[in-house]
Structure 1
């Protein structure tokens, strides 16, 4: 009886937490499908579907170009994070030398550095190097600040893979790099899915780097493009809500396809290690 009551309490608590997370999404829906002249409460879903907000947001903020810019930056950044992170984590996990332990500690310590604290020197360095308004510069920033967490997760996950697999592949004549790509990398699917979800969502929704380092109109990302609807004298909240809803669709799709690996990757990569 006591176990049943505990289960009911945990279930109700879980439902309550889930509802709290759904409330912002519900308000986003009501505002995006509501005419700006409608003064009814944002908690009341309109009895009509006003799609002009989506059309206006798409054209006024040039979201088509912003989507392409954001997708390119996100794809290239996440690809480099996966490749560099997994390659760096393999020797750190397999060869426990003093130097590798020091390097691992260095990467983990980088997690405590907030990007905003070094934004001013970064801006000055980018101006001097000519990286302003370049996709290369922003991709480099994203890879730099997201690589430490990826190395941490990959190192912990690779540590759970038996070393006998390495030895067996080496006996079969595989080189170390061939063994990594043919044996180890395919086994990293769960943690790779976790890294994709975490980093892709963060980079897709980035504002701090994009607003400072991509200032040309043709290079704006989604978040910067939507921020143009917030003016000193007016706020086009319906357009912002519609644009934010469209911007959230890719993240939702990625999570739907990779969510079955997400929990496994977090558990194996962060706890077992």
Structure 2
């Protein structure tokens, strides 16, 4: 009975995988077809051409957009990991009423749609003179994903880091900060990879904040640049497909590099509260 059930689950997983792979197959084959090749979307290119990638890169000015997106994503992720892990540590270890209230507020913030705060947020950023700056995007993205980061870190610390290690460090004379950075933080590698992947993917693909606060072409991120490029080349699917592949490739590489730690972070109780 178990063997039959496992075979059914395996077949179901294979079908679901194929369903997800099909769009990527169509995207890849379309990007590799020459301009005059209008064969079926299911067919392979008659001759593989990489001209679409070079042309899309130049026409969409993807170089500057890539640089802007990398800066915003990298700095935001670093702030989330540094500040989120520090904030989660006392919340996970000190079971006080105040910490319970703070943790409840973090959970509440996570369910509030970001667009509901867009008008006052835009006014604050404009008053601070940060419109069309990297700093605006970095601060906004860091604040937006901080509750989720703290939630993940605190759950992992509670379920996977034994208190005895910290007690032993305390007996050796280590302070709270030293204990965290020398004992606790090195053990947070799995959940740090999870936070890094989740935050980087969200920030890399962010459109709603970028379209409001990064309107100048010099600071535009990939999502904004790609939206304009798609509109201008709606009839040239070869270029659009090539641009889309280049835009998503960094996050694919990041996930493949950290997937072992990502899965370990989730399976070790990262989503337990």
**TM tier, smaller:** over 0.9
Equivalence for 2:122: 123
Q: Does 1:63 align with 2:62?
A: yes
Q: For structure 1, which runs of at least 5 residues remain unmatched after alignment?
A: none
Structure 1 residues 231 and 137 mapped into 2: Cα distance closer, same or farther (>3 Å)? same
SS at match of 1:36: coil
Could you tell me which residue of structure 2 aligns to residue 253 of structure 1? 253
Q: Which moves more between the two structures, 34-43 or 139-148?
A: 34-43
Displacement of 1:17 after TM fit? 0.8
Q: How many residues align?
A: 272
TM-score under structure 2 length normalisation: 0.95
The correspondence of residues 164-203 of structure 1 with structure 2, limited to 5 A, is 164-203=164-203
Query: Structure 1 212/36 Cα, relative in aligned 2: closer, same or farther at 3 Å?
Result: farther
Check if 1:147 corresponds to 2:115. no
Residues 229 and 236, structure 1, Cα contact 8 Å, conserved in 2: no
**Residues 37, 117 of structure 1: alpha-carbon distance in 2 compared, 3 angstrom cutoff:** farther
Give the Å deviation of 1:16: 0.6
After superposition, what is the alpha-carbon deviation per residue over 1:36-62, rounded to whole angstroms, capped at 9, x for unaligned?
A: 332222222212112121011111111
Residues 153, 270 of structure 1: 8 Å contact kept = yes
In structure 1, C-alpha distance between the alignment counterparts of 2:128 and 2:36, rounded to whole Å? 48
Does the residue aligned with 1:49 lie in a helix, a strand or coil? coil
CA contact (8 A) 2:153 2:270 kept: no
What's the CA shift for 1:125?
Answer: 2.3
C-alpha separation in 2, matches of 1:92 and 1:203: 25
**Are the aligned partners of 2:33 and 2:46 in contact in 1 as well (CA < 8 Å)?**
no
The 8 Å contact of residues 233 and 239 in structure 2, kept in 1 or not, is answered as no
The CA deviation at 1:271 is 4.7
Kept in 2: contact 1:154–1:269 (CA 8 A): no
Asked if 1 retains the 8 angstrom alpha-carbon contact of 2:190 and 2:262, the reply is yes
The DSSP-based 3-state class of the residue aligned with 1:231 is: helix
Unaligned residue ranges in structure 2 (runs of 5+): none
Shift of 1:234: 4.5
What's the CA shift string for 1:201-237, capped at 9, x where partnerless? 1111111111211111111111111122233785432
CA–CA separation in structure 1 for the residues paired with 2:164 and 2:177: 16
Can you list the C-alpha shifts for 1:69-123, whole angstroms capped at 9, x where unaligned? 1111000000000011100000001111100110011111111011122222222
The CA distance in 2 between the partners of 1:20 and 1:234, in whole Å, is 25
Residue 264 of structure 1 corresponds to 264
Alignment RMSD, CA only?
Answer: 1.5
- 1:222 maps to 222
Whole-Å Cα distance in 2 between the matches of residues 200 and 231 of structure 1? 26
